[in-house]
Amino acid sequence: MAHQRVALWAAEPDLDDDINDADVDIPIPVPSSTNEMYDDPNLQLNEGSLQAMQQHIAQQAAFEQIPDIVKRFIVHFHQAVLDNNLQEVTLAYESGWTRLTEKYYAKTEWPEAETIAPLVNDDQIFLILYRELYYRHVYSRLQPNVDDRFHSYENSCELFNYLLNSDGPVLLSLPANWLWDIIDEFIYQFQSFALFRSRPASKTDDELTMLGSEGGAQAWSSYSVLNVLYSLIQKSRVNEWLKARAEGKSDEEIEEIVGEYGTKPLYRMLGYFSIIGLLRVHVLLGDFTLALKVMENVGLGQKAPFTAPTAVHVSTAYHAGICYFMLRRIPDAARIFTGVLNWVMRARQYHTRSYQYDQINKTADRMYALLALCHVLAPTRLDDNVMNIVRERYGDQIGRMGRGEEGLSTFEELFLYSCPKFICANSPPYDDPAALASMLIPPTPTSPSSQNPSVVLGDPTQRHLRAASAHFMSLTPVSSLKSLLKLYTSLDAQKLTGFLDTSGAGVNEEEVLSWMMVMKNAGRCVGRVNTGGTAANGEKDNDEGSRPSESLLDGEWMSISDLNFVIDQNMVHIAESTVGRRYAGWFIRNSEHAARVLDGIKASPLPPRTVPTQVQKKGGDGPKAESAPRTTGQKVAWGGVKVA
Amino acid sequence: MAATTAWLSPPSRTELIENLVSGVDRYNPSNVGILEDYLYHQIRSEEYDCLANLAILKLYQFNPDLFNPDVVINILLKALTAEPFPDFNLCISLLDDRPPNSTLDEPDPLPTLLPLLMNLYNLLHQCRFSAFWVLYRSDDLEVIRENYTVECAGFEDAIREVAARSVKATFTRISNERLGTYVDLSGPELEVWVAKQRWTFDSSTGVVSIPPNPDNQIESVVIQEHIKLPQLSKVISHTVQVK
């Protein structure tokens, strides 16, 4: 209407004023003019501009509420990004953002990107990065609603579009931490969305429509996530780079191989982190062999080609360990976990500030639980430090699991605690309401799936749990067998059956023999050849493990049990292998320590002359007389007492 | 690397399949036909390629409309023969929940057959071979036998191989009847099979002897540590410096 039109004009001079003084209640003069000219033809335009105007006002209000410190921080941050000033960006990212979040935004969201747009002159690139941080905050501190999820997906798409599809490599320079967090968060949001969408029962109608729509089906689809990761890897040619480095090529050759994208650290790091990201995504989708396959060129040693954030190593080790665990290669899994846990324990004091600190701790806790499980499934001697902690935390669980069938619930509990939240690659059929409804209604008695309700393929975590539990159950007789066999060198199978039958379960000889075979099988598994280290039963030569091109899936059959037996007709012959006393390490360490102490003493200055007269008296014959009887002992080179 | 090289890249895999399995093309749904043909080739010619089969399952995971339960059952059967490798478990891991698929011509046999297959797998994994054969020959599994394993060349022989591996590792001598229950053979057939395994069959005592292999030769070992020269280098070099 007329008065609104006037208001628009009247309000504008206000907007151009000093922004900080913008008044929420913009006075809208209400002239009583009834000029009909401005009615219908302009109605739509007025509506539209009215809305824009209202939005603008709302933004002004929000902007008003941003504390000054935050505004200054944003401007400074923006400047640093524009200047490609890596140090400043790192500082702002690591400490500035977290500090301000703690202070002002601990329970609420940061201001919307549109609100702060004027501060950064609407720099779209910066706004994309800002939104990335904004949504990360929402996901971690608050509960994202379905809108947030879709928007964050769009934002991620824009970001990756910008990085991948601009002409030529982008001139940004961001710290490694941030890049890893981008990839990590992207996958985390994907996982979160997959979990969200796989529970159709508790959705509101709005959410159902959104999920069922065209855009809904596309958002966070597995293919697009995988596409992003693969494209980053391919664009930066990081696999070729890793291979070339491993082969020791010179820098110029490497530059040629990786092309213009690969030489920029931004892309190289993104590519490297994407490989780890792929490892994680494949684990979440349940494809463990493929996960290990993509890590071919990276390897699992702790020598990253550049200083990667701690979180990267921890994440890699955790997911690789899960893969080995599900592949039943327990010693490999245990070795990885121990290695990284040792490292984390030592590096812990340096990382209290980082964004990933909580994450790292949580992952470390899960790895301890997994180590406990590994220990139960395949007890081998491991690093003492780590094992002590495991025993401290999970001692009675380990005991319970060792007692056979009753341990199953403990096993499941620990597994569920420590496994990643596996996801389903597909969404329930939101676009087909009938199908969705039939999914929610429990199956009628006549449908085939209800005949065996326990095997309905449900929640993916349950599936993996069942696989692991089956393995655990098959190994339950092993511990009691072991304790019996340890007592004998040879034993008749009948007698053995008799011993085991004391539980009254009616064990017959055939079953016992099956258990023996299981135990034998459990005593061997595929493991990666150990590079160096003490010789143990069944390892092959140590050199083979150091070739960089070998796949993580390679391995040899190796024996991991110290109790070996063989059955001759009905007679069981048992041989136990024991470990001799290991004194070399102890002696060497202490010799070196003593040597260091000695060096220290020799190098330190002489004590001041406190009793000069006495020394002078003994001066002449003292040293000579003393040195004679000393030839038998260790030659000690004392700084001789110099007589002035 | 002997143990896993054959599993990772079987010599029977062609280059085309190799590219599919190792590259990004494995996600392309139109390639599923090639991989399925390869599976049927494996079935007919007694070969086995674990990673290619997992690639098929992964494509099914992402494209539920491509799902073909017959293919899945065949893959699972092949995986059964790969014990003690964990292939069966890996295949199960990739079998996602699927919305009821109304595009199939016949009712989906998978939900009924899957528990049976899992039972078979558990029996094999727990080395209860005689129970395995009993279950396998029973009426419940007639469906599997009629439709699937009959096409799969050498399925039963492959299962016998699994049993043989376990037996080889655990026994030096085993009685005839017991071995017979493990591999579901008896009399002259058993003798032929034993000969193929290169085990010696002593018909007078009815005992089969298994030649020595790393697993069934046991000896008490005291593991001594090897002290290598480089570990001592610091100590030795220090003594030289002391002078």
The interface predicted TM-score of the complex, written ipTM, equals: 0.83
pLDDT of residue A9: 37
pLDDT confidence band for B215 (50 / 70 / 90): low
Whether residues B111 and A286 touch (CB distance < 8 A) is answered with: no
pLDDT of residue B135: 84
pLDDT in tens, A392-449: 888 888 888 877 677 788 888 888 888 888 887 776 666 666 666 666 654 444 333 3
pLDDT in tens, A541-560: 222 233 333 566 776 676 66
**Which residues on chain B are in Cβ contact (under 8 Å) with A449?**
111
Mean predicted confidence (pLDDT) in B7-29: 75
Mean predicted confidence (pLDDT) in A493-508: 70
pLDDT confidence band for A252 (50 / 70 / 90): confident
Mean predicted confidence (pLDDT) in B35-47: 82
Mean predicted confidence (pLDDT) in A491-520: 73
pLDDT confidence band for A92 (50 / 70 / 90): confident
Mean predicted confidence (pLDDT) in B69-74: 82
Query: CA–CA separation, B243 vs B240, rounded Å?
Result: 6
| Residue listed under structure tokens 């480095």 | A245
Residues A476 and A404 sit within 8 Å (Cβ to Cβ): yes
Contacts of A355 (CB under 8 A, 6+ apart): A94, A98, A177, A181
Interface residue B130 vs chain A (CB under 8 A): yes
Interface residue A524 vs chain B (CB under 8 A): yes
> A residues 117-156 near B, CB within 8 Å?
none
Contacts of A584 (CB under 8 A, 6+ apart): B225, B227, B231
Mutation for testing the A interface, residue in B67, B116, B132, B223 having most A CBs under 10 Å: B223
pLDDT of residue A239: 81
Q: Which of the pair, A386 or A1, is modelled with greater confidence?
A: A386
Query: CA–CA separation, A371 vs A322, rounded Å?
Result: 11
Mutation for testing the A interface, residue in B66, B75, B117, B170 having most A CBs under 10 Å: B170
pLDDT of residue A23: 41
pLDDT of residue B232: 78
pTM to 2 decimal places: 0.76
Cβ neighbours of A613 (radius 10 Å): 8
pLDDT confidence band for B240 (50 / 70 / 90): confident
For B158-197, b where at least 16 C-beta lie within 10 A, e where not — what string?
bbbebbbebbbbbbbbbebebbbbbbbbeeeebeebbeeb
pLDDT of residue B4: 67
Q: How far apart are the first and last CA of chain B?
A: 49
> In this complex, which of A435, A448, A577 lies closest to B112 when CB atoms are compared?
A448
The torsion angle over the Cα atoms of residues A412, A418, A419 and A423, rounded to 10 degrees, is 100
Query: CA–CA separation, A112 vs B205, rounded Å?
Result: 87
**A502-511 contacts at long range (C-beta below 8 A, 24 or more positions apart):** A510/B130, A510/B181, A511/B128
Interface residue A463 vs chain B (CB under 8 A): yes
pLDDT of residue B151: 74
Going across the sheet that includes B171-175, the strands are: A490-492, A571-576, A563-568, B171-175, B207-209, B200-202
Mean predicted confidence (pLDDT) in A502-518: 69
pLDDT confidence band for A625 (50 / 70 / 90): very low
Q: What percent of chain B has pLDDT over 70?
A: 87
pLDDT in tens, A362-373: 888 888 888 888
Q: How distant is the Cα of B141 from the closest Cα of chain A, in angstroms? A: 16
Among A172-186, A443-457, A505-519, B188-202, the least confident range: A443-457
Interface residue A112 vs chain B (CB under 8 A): no
Q: Is residue B207 predicted with pLDDT exceeding 60?
A: yes
Cβ neighbours of B240 (radius 10 Å): 7
Query: CA–CA separation, A569 vs A13, rounded Å?
Result: 102
pLDDT of residue A526: 66
Q: Is residue A145 predicted with pLDDT exceeding 50?
A: yes
Q: Is residue B220 predicted with pLDDT exceeding 60?
A: yes
Q: What is the mean pLDDT of chain B?
A: 77
Beta bridge partners of B200: B209
pLDDT of residue A37: 44
Among A8-12, A177-181, A404-408, B52-56, the least confident range: A8-12
pLDDT in tens, A283-333: 888 888 888 888 877 776 655 556 677 788 888 889 988 888 888 888 888
Q: What percent of chain B has pLDDT over 90?
A: 0
Q: Is residue A5 predicted with pLDDT exceeding 50?
A: no
For A289-324, b where at least 16 C-beta lie within 10 A, e where not — what string?
bbbbbbbbbbbbeeeeeeebbbbbbbbbbbbbbbbb
Q: What is the mean pLDDT of chain A?
A: 72
Mean predicted confidence (pLDDT) in A258-287: 84
Among A373-382, A427-436, B31-40, the least confident range: A427-436
Mutation for testing the A interface, residue in B128, B208, B232 having most A CBs under 10 Å: B128
pLDDT of residue B226: 72
**Which residues on chain B are in Cβ contact (under 8 Å) with A534?**
223, 225-226
Whether residues B215 and A524 touch (CB distance < 8 A) is answered with: yes
Q: Is residue B57 predicted with pLDDT exceeding 70?
A: yes
Which H or E run includes A205? helix A205-212
Interface residue A328 vs chain B (CB under 8 A): yes
pLDDT of residue B102: 47
pLDDT confidence band for A385 (50 / 70 / 90): confident
Among A144-148, A226-230, A377-381, the least confident range: A377-381
> In this complex, which of B8, B58, B84 lies closest to A287 when CB atoms are compared?
B58
Q: A–B: how many Cβ contacts below 8 A?
A: 216
Q: Is residue A31 predicted with pLDDT exceeding 70?
A: no
Query: CA–CA separation, A72 vs A78, rounded Å?
Result: 10
pLDDT of residue A271: 86
**Which residues on chain B are in Cβ contact (under 8 Å) with A459?**
97
pLDDT confidence band for A587 (50 / 70 / 90): confident
**Which residues on chain A are in Cβ contact (under 8 Å) with B89?**
326, 328, 467, 470-471
Q: What percent of chain A has pLDDT over 70?
A: 70
pLDDT of residue A529: 55
Mean predicted confidence (pLDDT) in A167-189: 83
* Secondary structure of B79-121 in HEC code, one letter for each residue: HHCCCCCCHHHHHHHCCCCCCCCCCCCCCCCHHHHHHHHHHHH
Query: CA–CA separation, B233 vs B243, rounded Å?
Result: 17
> B residues 189-228 near A, CB within 8 Å?
207, 214-227
pLDDT of residue A621: 46
Q: What percent of chain A has pLDDT over 90?
A: 0
Mean predicted confidence (pLDDT) in B206-228: 72
**Which residues on chain B are in Cβ contact (under 8 Å) with A467?**
89, 92-93
